[in-house]
């Protein structure tokens, strides 16, 4: 996991410095007027390899792309994005999970668990093991959780952890709780 440092730049803005696993450093300066400067320092180099300056809107658009708001890599079974206290996760429904065969309405996810289901991806792997399927945006209370589907849901970090456990195989959850 990357190391992140932050520093106030009085009269200028704020600086974030991210040290990547490969040793490279990406430094982002957020100016008070909204522009961003992004510097890339190769491992153990003092001079940046590149510098990019973006407007506030451009940096927000790029941040959304990097954060996975528009595209989820197909090889990931779980992806997480956090905005303030809201967490959005893509979680696969496992065989033997406690939600398999139940509907959103039956589980009262929003009222009893504080979870909002944003989408359900009905994925199937074809002969090339490529995940394909239909995406149901804002599935209604009649949507039934089916093993192999990926659920995009939002909630607080604590609520999302409980929901993730509900989508896992019951035996896997029991083993994790024993350890």
13: region left, alpha or beta (phi > 0 left; psi from -120 to 50 alpha): left
Please tell me the distance from the alpha carbon of residue 160 to that of residue 99, in angstroms, as a whole number: 14
Give me the pLDDT at residue 25, please: 94
| Per-residue pLDDT in tens (0 to 9) along the chain, 179 residues | 678 899 999 999 999 999 998 999 999 999 999 999 999 999 888 999 999 999 999 998 888 888 777 776 655 555 555 566 778 888 889 888 989 999 999 999 989 999 999 988 886 554 444 445 688 888 999 999 999 888 989 898 899 889 998 888 877 767 777 76
- Give this prediction's pTM: 0.52
């Amino acid at each position: 996991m990357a190391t992140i440092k932050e520093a106030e730049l009085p009269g200028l803005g704020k600086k974030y410095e991210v040290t990547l696993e490969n040793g490279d450093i990406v430094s982002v300066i957020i100016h008070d007027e909204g522009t961003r400067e992004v510097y890339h320092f190769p491992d153990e180099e003092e001079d940046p390899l590149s510098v990019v300056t973006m407007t506030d809107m451009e940096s927000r658009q790029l941040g959304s792309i990097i954060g996975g708001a528009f595209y989820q890599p197909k090889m990931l079974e779980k992806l997480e994005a956090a905005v303030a206290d809201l967490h959005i996760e893509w979680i696969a429904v496992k065989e033997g999970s406690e939600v398999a065969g139940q509907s959103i309405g039956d589980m009262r996810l929003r009222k009893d668990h504080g979870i909002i289901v944003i989408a359900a991806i009905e994925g199937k792997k074809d002969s090339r093991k490529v995940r394909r399927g239909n995406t149901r945006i804002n599935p209604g209370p009649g949507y039934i959780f089916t093993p192999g589907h990926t659920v995009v849901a939002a909630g607080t970090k604590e609520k999302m952890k409980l929901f993730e456990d509900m989508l896992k195989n019951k035996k896997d959850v029991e083993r994790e709780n024993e350890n």
